[in-house]
Amino acid sequence: MPSLPLIEPDTALFLDFDGTLADLAPRPDLVRVEPELLGTLRRLHEALDGALAIVSGRPIAELDAFLHPLRLPAAGVHGAEYRHDGEAAAVAAPPALALLWERLAPLARAYPELLLEPKSAALAVHYRAAPQLEALVRAALAEAVRGLHGLEILPGKMVMEVKPAGIDKGSAIAAFMRAEPFASRRPLFAGDDVTDEAGFVAVHALGGLGVLVGERPSAAGVSVPGPAALRCWLHRSAAALAAPRGGPFRTAFT
């Protein structure tokens, strides 16, 4: 892939959380955020005049807890939750989610190594502790959603998620880009999972750039090896934005 440029002052920056800003962990609650990252995100938010948002599958409340004391613009649960300019909105949880939970409860009892995670408008089944159960989880979810309307299955890294149909990270990014301070900027979205592909497609449609964290086939335009490299790029970009402008065009990775 081509080289990754440092962030420019006219960028609208969108960042996934798990596997992008933070390294993946065996369980969602075990993820840790490097303290230095918080200062870098604060500096980038200021340097970009507020045009920085977190776009994640996690609920916004969890993102706020991990990034405390920062309270950034954010889209949570793949866009079902949305906060911009301090005002939050959320898609109502589909009524079918309660029935879905009932249908999956026997699976969780039979396989305690699976983790069922309820969210505000979605339900995730994590199988990172038992990757050999992937086929079983896929089949169980396909059967569980049968006859339930308004839901769709979203596969991810060692997780299968059921969320409201028609909502994804791409639509969340597009919503941000219709409002200030994001409007009229060049969007850049960094993410690692297949759940981020809709975001990559959205930023490309708006003339922006997708950054894949990791290695796999993707619609992203550039890639970095992993979260540590992505954080290094953010640190270097924040420093460059604070420095006097001028000099030759710079890239973070070649």
Catalytic amino acids? 16
From-to residues of CATH 3.30.70.1020 in the chain:
96-164
Give the predicted TM-score (pTM) of the model: 0.92
Phi and psi for 104 in degrees, rounded to 5? -95, -15
From-to residues of CATH 3.40.50.1000 in the chain:
4-91+167-253
Range 4-91+167-253 has CATH code 1.10.3720.10: no
Q: Which pLDDT tens digits describe the chain residue by residue (254 residues)? A: 567 999 999 999 999 999 999 999 999 999 999 999 999 999 999 999 999 999 999 999 999 999 999 999 999 999 999 999 887 888 888 889 989 999 999 999 999 999 999 999 999 999 999 999 999 999 999 999 999 989 999 999 999 999 999 999 999 999 999 999 999 999 999 999 999 999 999 999 999 999 999 999 999 999 999 999 999 999 999 999 998 764 443 455 54
3-state secondary structure string, the chain? Answer: CCCEECCCCCEEEEECCECCCECCCCCHHHCCCCHHHHHHHHHHHHHCCCCEEEECCCCHHHHHHHHCCCCCCEEEHHHCEEEECCEEEECCCCCHHHHHHHHHHHHHHHCCCCEEEECCCCEEEECCCCHHHHHHHHHHHHHHCCCCCCEEEEEECCEEEEEECCCCHHHHHHHHHCCCCCCCCEEEEEECCHHHHHHHHHHHHCCCEEEEECCCCCCCCEEECCHHHHHHHHHHHHHHHHCCCCCCCCEEEC
Domain spanning 96-164: which CATH class is it, in words?
A: alpha beta
